[in-house]
Amino acid sequence: MTEPAITLQTFFERARDGRLTAVRCRKCGELAIPPRQFCPACGERAWEAVRLSGEGAIESFTVIRVAPRAHAADAPYAIAVVKLTEGVSLLGRIVDISLEKIAIGVPVRFRPLVRGSQTAVGFGPA
Ligand SMILES: [Zn+2]
């Protein structure tokens, strides 16, 4: 069953419900997340939505010590690139893992960070 390709808005609506969705190119099989308009590999626009497991491992990270005003009370916190088990990487904020324990290779699981009407990508302990 093929779902219609999704927009960024749909991506975040689903993320809010805890569902992490990527798009797969029907021409070349490239997987992309978050969804984009054209395939970075072959330039086609023939996406289908694919639900991901949400599991992955930290590929790289940085600790934000001086945050933008809206997040100032949360600093310090970590932002990581997480390599998902499906092979694609996604940027998100690390939650519920102490900064000393954050390291490359640490397993994490997707978790939506909902604040009012805003949803952001987060990752917590696996
Ligand atoms: Zn492609």
Distance 37 CA to ligand 1 centre (A): 11
pLDDT digit string, tens, across residues 10-66:
999 999 999 999 999 999 999 999 998 899 999 999 999 999 999 999 999 999 999
The CATH code of domain 55-125 reads 2.40.50
In this prediction, residue 6 has a pLDDT band, given cuts at 50, 70 and 90, of: confident
pTM confidence score: 0.90
What is the residue extent of each domain of the chain? 8-51, 55-125
pLDDT digit string, tens, across residues 69-124:
888 889 999 999 999 999 999 999 999 999 999 999 999 999 999 999 999 999 99
Distance 118 CA to ligand 1 centre (A): 30
Give me the DSSP letters along the chain: -PPPP--HHHHHHHHHTT--EEEEETTT--EESS--SS-TTT----EEEEE---EEEEEEEEEESS--GGGGGG-SEEEEEEEETTS-EEEEEE-SS-GGG--TT-EEEEEEEEETTEEEEEEEE-
